[in-house]
Chains A and B, each alone.
Chain A
Amino acid sequence: MRRLPVLLATVLVLGAAGGGLHVAVQPGWSEVELAQVRSLSLEALPPLPADPSNRVADDPRAAELGRALFFDTRLSANGEVACATCHLPDRQFQDDLPLGHGIGQTGRRTMPIAGMAYAPFLFWDGRKDSLWSQALGPLESAVEHGGDRTQYAHLVAERYATEYEAVFGPLPDLTMLPPHAGPVADPVVAAAWEALPEDRREAVTTVFADMGKAIAAYERTILPSETRFDAWVASDAFPKAGLLSEDEIAGLRLFLGEGECVNCHNGPLLTDNHFHNTGVPAAPGLPEDQGRAAGARLVREDPFNCLGPFSDARPEQCGELRFLAPDGEDLVRAFKPPSLRGVASRAPYMHAGQIGTLDEVLAHYASAPAAPEGHTELRPKALSAEERAQIIAFLGTLEPLTPDVKRLAEAPSRSAALRERSLD
């Protein structure tokens, strides 16, 4: 911890001077405040960052192949689990469950996918540093897809050879390879893998990595869509009430100010894509979870990372990995804040779905309980029930626009009608 006395002094000053100020909606917005609000809107989203570790990241043929793989349940131990089993397209590519269910039950909440191509690290603990290497993890997890590398390579050769070769070039010779072999938990399958000569393992692993690269090319096309908040920021009425109600705007001010939500939920995706210990309770029945402290180690050891043999990047293009904070107190039980776009309809919350409602989430952040391990970054906040409700109201404006509201938002002449609707 750095300079705690200064920190506490600041809190005391704020506590003494700030009481009640935040409740009233101030009519004026400073330029800085307006800039900060705009920085959260979709207009501030930069172009999709390149992924130099994936040479086919922006190849539409790769995306099409990746889309097919994403929905293919043959990529599993029992023929029933695809990526889309947990990442449901009509549910923000997540599953509404506390813990993901594939072949078995995972130890973490399924994350949504929209805008993930902007994240330097993937998973709640950031144990992967690209979308393509992320996609490979569940494929080999016994509780998710439960399959193995030769199984997947055989499937590609049998079902996707033309599409694969158009993107990646000729498939390697897969004859004589066992139907099931790979570095997985199943000892028989793992032994079959160990028995293969090095060059054959490498050929299979290249196909496996390419599958991840195709899936990543597809996932890069899954982007956040416009919300009522974005439409409000772009509207003539901004920053006055209109597409957003007075209560929702009050919630936005709390989000930026007293609530300090913006510390971690900043930028147009409303996440800083870093890792934070917010004292979330351990999930009953699950093993100890070190969060980023484990993820930082795993990503550096991962053969599929940016610096590894299956990456297409030059080492100097791997800045996020090279300069990653490898250890330290800040990492213990730290988890990545998800984007808050769509959060209101995406219960339950936290990395293992420990908290059921946004109201309970806000109560958690206000009370700032001690962390089960490591140190929480939160400090207790005196947020009233009304203020918490206002923040939740603001979060509700981050839902993708319904076609109806979208049409109204796009027609300036009808903005008055929409304003009436939004105040209903």
Chain B
Amino acid sequence: MTFPTSRRALLLGLPALLLAAGTAGAAWMMRVPSDLDLSREKATEAGLYMAAVAPVEEPVTVGPMHAWTVTLTDRDGAPLDGARITVDGGMPQHGHGLPTSPAVTQDLGGGRYLIEGMKFNMPGWWELDLSIEGPAGTDSVTFDLVL
């Protein structure tokens, strides 16, 4: 699954600015690594699946609780239904985890799943870790987000 550029630009608008301002603004902001892969679609670590994440409502801001969808495909690009997904994450630069305990609440079909209960309570670099249990085995993927 791919995202139209405009959607991604909208979601990543602030982070893109943040990164652009990285050198000038870093004097008074926690430096977010400039080489983060901010893509929302990735192969899982061992290459068993492809995973794509997207917030249900944009933009994603610091504070409110929001939902995301995860779209999974197998190695052949076929939608992966019936997978079990657990959600974890945190802020690598702050040493803490997610403020909430998000969970998959719906299998939307077509390889799509709804994650509810996501929240980011601070600006900065966040990791979203998904552990995916499917027919090919268990694999994980980490998405980097900058708010």
Contacts and interface: CB of A to CB of B under 8 A. Distances in A.
A413 interface: no
Contacts of A264: 122
B47 interface: no
A18 interface: yes
B14 interface: yes
A321 B100 CA distance: 9
A31 B99 contact: no
B39 interface: no
Interface string A1-23: 11110110010011000100110
Q: Which among B26, B30, B93, B96 has the highest number of chain A CB atoms within 10 Å?
A: B96
Interface residues of B, number: 37
Interface residues of A, number: 45
A173 to B, nearest CB: 41
Interface string B10-42: 000010011001001111111100000000000
A7 B31 contact: no
B76 to A, nearest CB: 34
Interface in B92-133: 92-103, 116-117, 119, 121-124, 127
Contacts of B52: none
Given A18-B27, A32-B25, A274 B92 contact: no
Given A28-B24, A266-B123, A377 B95 contact: yes
Contact of A330 (B27, B30, B96): B96
B25 A33 contact: yes
Contacts of A257: 27-30
Interface in B63-96: 63, 65, 90-96
B138 to A, nearest CB: 20
A258 interface: yes
Interface in A375-410: 377
B62 interface: yes
A262 B24 CA distance: 19
Given A266-B122, A323-B103, A324-B100, A31 B21 contact: yes
A323 B101 contact: yes
Contacts of A267: 62-63
B17 A32 contact: yes
Given A6-B93, A35-B14, A262-B123, A274 B99 contact: yes
Q: Which among A6, A263, A330 has the highest number of chain B CB atoms within 10 Å?
A: A263
A325 B90 contact: no
B27 A22 contact: yes
B19 to A, nearest CB: 9
A319 B121 CA distance: 15
A89 interface: no
B14 to A, nearest CB: 7
Given A2-B90, A262-B123, A323-B117, A31 B95 contact: no
A274 B121 contact: yes
Interface in A303-345: 319-320, 322-326, 328, 330
A86 B127 CA distance: 42
A254 interface: yes
Nearest to B89: A2
A260 B31 CA distance: 11
Interface of A: 1-4, 6-7, 10, 13-14, 18, 21-22, 26, 28, 30-33, 35-36, 120, 253-254, 256-258, 260, 262-264, 266-267, 272-274, 319-320, 322-326, 328, 330, 377
Please give me the 8 A-B residue pairs with the lowest Cβ-Cβ distance, nearest first: A257-B28, A323-B117, A272-B121, A30-B21, A21-B27, A3-B92, A274-B121, A1-B95
8 contacts: A2-B127, A18-B26, A31-B17, A32-B17, A32-B25, A35-B17, A257-B28, A330-B96
